[in-house]
């Protein structure tokens, strides 16, 4: 998996509650993924947010995949 997402996904304590954002903007990874999960296509997201790129969307996917890979469930 490409590590290129690290250059696109930013974390700033004072922006959007410290949530992961795209290139320092105020749109979060969660925002993008929730639009896609709700049924929007990548093309529709890019049309609605013209400052985003295909690479930004891919970075959101890669970021989410990395979070999923590193997620562990503790035994009760």
Supply the pLDDT for residue 47.
98
Question: Is 16 within a domain?
Answer: yes
Q: Supply the range of the domain harboring residue 38.
A: 4-70
Instruction: Using a cut of 0.95, tell me whether the model's pTM lies above it.
Output: no
Greater model confidence, 27 or 4: 27
Q: Is the pLDDT of residue 19 over 70?
A: yes
How far is Cα 9 from Cα 25, in angstroms, rounded to an integer?
A: 10
Using CA of residue 4, residue 69, residue 72, residue 24, what is the dihedral sign? positive
DSSP character at residue 9:
E
Q: Say which CATH number the domain at 50 has.
A: 1.10.10.10
Supply the pLDDT for residue 32.
98
Q: How many domains does the chain have?
A: 1
Question: Is 61 within a domain?
Answer: yes
Question: Is 75 within a domain?
Answer: no
Question: Is 14 within a domain?
Answer: yes
Supply the pLDDT for residue 76.
60
**Cα–Cα–Cα angle for 22, 73, 70, nearest 5°?**
35
Question: Is 32 within a domain?
Answer: yes
pLDDT tens digits along 51-65: 999 999 999 999 999
């Amino acid at each position: 998996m490409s590590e290129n997402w690290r250059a696109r996904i930013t974390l700033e304590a004072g922006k959007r509650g410290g949530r992961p954002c795209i290139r320092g903007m105020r749109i979060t990874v969660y925002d993008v993924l929730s639009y896609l999960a709700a049924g929007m296509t990548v093309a529709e997201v890019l049309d609605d947010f013209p400052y985003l790129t295909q690479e930004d969307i891919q970075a959101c996917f890669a970021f989410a995949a990395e979070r999923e890979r590193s997620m562990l469930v503790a035994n009760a």
